[in-house]
Structure 1
Amino acid sequence: MESRELAYFVAVAEERNFSRAAVRLGIAQPPLSRAVQRLERRLGVRLLERTSRQVSLTHAGEVLLEEGRKALTSLAAAERLARRAGQATARLTVVTKPGGDAGLLEPLLARFAAHPDAVDVEVLICGIGEEKALLRDGTADVALLRLPQDDLSGLAIEELLTEREMVVLPRAHRLAGRASIRMADLSGETFPRWTAASPGSGPVIRDTGQVAELIALGRIIAVLPESVARQLGRGLVAVPLDGHRTTLHAAWPEERRDRALAAFVRTAADTAADTAADAAAGGAVSDDRCLRTG
């Protein structure tokens, strides 16, 4: 199977339309149709059901779409990683969403710079939910991700720190004066959606600044890690959500093996442990107090 034929099939399968797929690929429709037909003949199975109005996937087509996406991503990652490996200066790319590092990155980068296996580090701030894709396609080497919010399947992980989850509210909200909040108290509230595929009726969010604006206007409330809630400002109220914690992890592709990456992960774990110890020694906000940000 040629990678070009696979890319052609994936485009048609995702668009469910040969004309749109041809435009997306920048080629004419007839050679696209012939390429997909050759692929079907080579595999000996029908991948697509075609009518004058639509294109649908057979079961074999659904399987090839899922596996083909993975293969194309791996191919692109191999190409990108090979190019990066050939650069004169070694580099490690760390990806996180805005506010997603729990305050660890600044001390972590300073500490890693002094490590014997240190290399140059690029920090990539991405959109919500984009970290795993950037790891898979080779753009990033390591990401800062959270459980239970993020899907960490297929990744190697190192637990860094755990913090409370907070309900962030406008000051005038009915729950703003509580010392703590239970999930049952939030019935009927409008929450943000972190991706277009997320369930619910709230707005799709691109960054935490947008969350703060909408909470201040009384349009939504949000459940956020304490480190994020502290940074929102605008005079919002953040109240602990009973029994709910979120854990920050360093995550990287399972197949990656190199000294710089291993050194970075070890340094991240050490930095997180020291940060947690400093917070405990400094008398962090107790579980029965709410935070008033800004």
Structure 2
Amino acid sequence: METRELRYFVAVAEELHFGRAAQRLGIAQPPLSRAIRQLERRLGVTLLDRNSRAVTLTEAGSVLLNEGRAALHAVDAADRRTRRAARTAAGGPELVLVTKAGASSELLRKLLDAYAAEPDAVAVEVVLCGPGEQQQVLRDGRADVALLHLPFDSTADFDTEELQTEGQVVVLPAGHALSARATVRLADITGLPDLPLPRWPRPAGDYPEGPGPEVHSSTQLYQLIALGRAAAVLPESSRIHLQPDLAAVPVVDAPAVTTVIAWPPHSRSRALAGLIRAATRL
């Protein structure tokens, strides 16, 4: 199969409409239809059932849609990493690390300092993203390594090393009735009508959320909490970011959060190996 044919098929399978798929791809509809028929002949299967009213996927088509997406992601990742290697040879950053904005800040600082002290250390570019986005940025080749947080982020298809495990706290406006307590339970938080848990944009992995306002950054989240519009359950290490108008109370029955460093298992980068060694020594 050709990459071009896979891209054509995935577009049709996602749109379930040849006209919309052709517009999305920026090509005319007749060559798109011919390419799909050629792909079906080569595979010896029917991928799409077509009639005058609808286009539907066959069982074989559903399988190729899932496999095709994964293959195209791998091709795109190879493209990005190859281009980044060329930029590195020209003096650009040699490693790209992605992490959730506002998370594991102290750990990340220690990691970068420890790695920079290594005799063969290279430059590290840090990319900050929203909740649940780190694994996709790593998977599609925009980063070489990521800090992920279990049980919220997926580590499927990555190699990992555990770095730290911590409890969770609920972050509240200072002066709220719960802020005077030594500990709380999840049931105490989920029933608060005045401080709903926020909603995260998709994809956000398995991060807990509620009916509150949608948030896109830690800065926005902390401001909403200070205004009395939301509360949030966050790792213990988030205390480092709290201003005087916020309070944090341990949540005794919240799951522990484990920070892991993750990377593609096929990576052969010496610089990445050095960063992993520095991380596991912390």
TM above 0.5: yes
Q: How far did 1:5 drift?
A: 0.6
Q: Is the 8 A contact 2:174 2:244 kept in 1?
A: no
Q: Which moved more, 1:183-192 or 1:257-266?
A: 183-192
CA separation of 1:85 and 1:106: change in aligned 2, threshold 3 A: same
Work out the CA distance in 1 between the residues paired with 2:117 and 2:258: 26
Q: Where does residue 15 of structure 1 map in the other structure?
A: 15
Q: Which moved more, 1:190-199 or 1:261-270?
A: 190-199
Q: Where does residue 245 of structure 1 map in the other structure?
A: 256
Q: How far did 1:51 drift?
A: 4.3
CA separation of 1:68 and 1:202: change in aligned 2, threshold 3 A: farther
Q: Which amino acid aligns with 2:238?
A: V
Identity between Structure 1 and Structure 2 (%): 55
2:157 to 154, 172, 180: 154
Q: Where does residue 178 of structure 1 map in the other structure?
A: 181
Q: Is the 8 A contact 1:212 1:234 kept in 2?
A: no
Q: Where does residue 256 of structure 1 map in the other structure?
A: 267
Quick check: 1:209 aligned with 2:212?
Answer: no
Residues 6-31 of structure 1: CA deviation (Å, up to 9, x unaligned): 01111122223322222221112222
Q: Which amino acid aligns with 2:252?
A: D
Quick check: 1:44 aligned with 2:55?
Answer: no
| TM-score (normalizing by structure 1) | 0.83
What is the DSSP-based 3-state SS (H/G/I as helix, E as strand, rest coil) of the residue aligned with 1:230? Answer: helix
Q: Where does residue 194 of structure 1 map in the other structure?
A: 200
Residues 19-52 of structure 1: CA deviation (Å, up to 9, x unaligned): 2222221112222222122212222222223344
Residues 112-134 of structure 1: CA deviation (Å, up to 9, x unaligned): 12213312211112232221112
CA separation of 1:47 and 1:193: change in aligned 2, threshold 3 A: farther
Q: Is the 8 A contact 1:167 1:221 kept in 2?
A: yes
Work out the CA distance in 1 between the residues paired with 2:242 and 2:118: 33
Q: Where does residue 58 of structure 1 map in the other structure?
A: 58
Gaps of at least 5 residues in structure 1 are 272-294
2:140 to 127, 137, 140: 137
1:109 to 102, 109, 112: 112
Work out the CA distance in 1 between the residues paired with 2:170 and 2:140: 34
Q: Is the 8 A contact 1:92 1:141 kept in 2?
A: yes
What is the DSSP-based 3-state SS (H/G/I as helix, E as strand, rest coil) of the residue aligned with 1:257? Answer: coil
Work out the CA distance in 2 between the residues paired with 1:58 and 1:169: 51
Work out the CA distance in 1 between the residues paired with 2:105 and 2:118: 22
Q: Which amino acid aligns with 2:139?
A: R
Work out the CA distance in 1 between the residues paired with 2:68 and 2:122: 34
Q: How far did 1:101 drift?
A: 2.7
Q: Which moved more, 1:203-212 or 1:157-166?
A: 203-212
Gaps of at least 5 residues in structure 2 are none
Work out the CA distance in 1 between the residues paired with 2:174 and 2:70: 46
Q: How far did 1:174 drift?
A: 4.2
| TM-score (normalizing by structure 2) | 0.87
Work out the CA distance in 1 between the residues paired with 2:4 and 2:171: 48
CA separation of 1:57 and 1:200: change in aligned 2, threshold 3 A: farther
Work out the CA distance in 2 between the residues paired with 1:57 and 1:200: 35
Q: Would you identify which runs of 4 or more consecutive aligned residues in structure 1 move more than 6 Å?
A: none
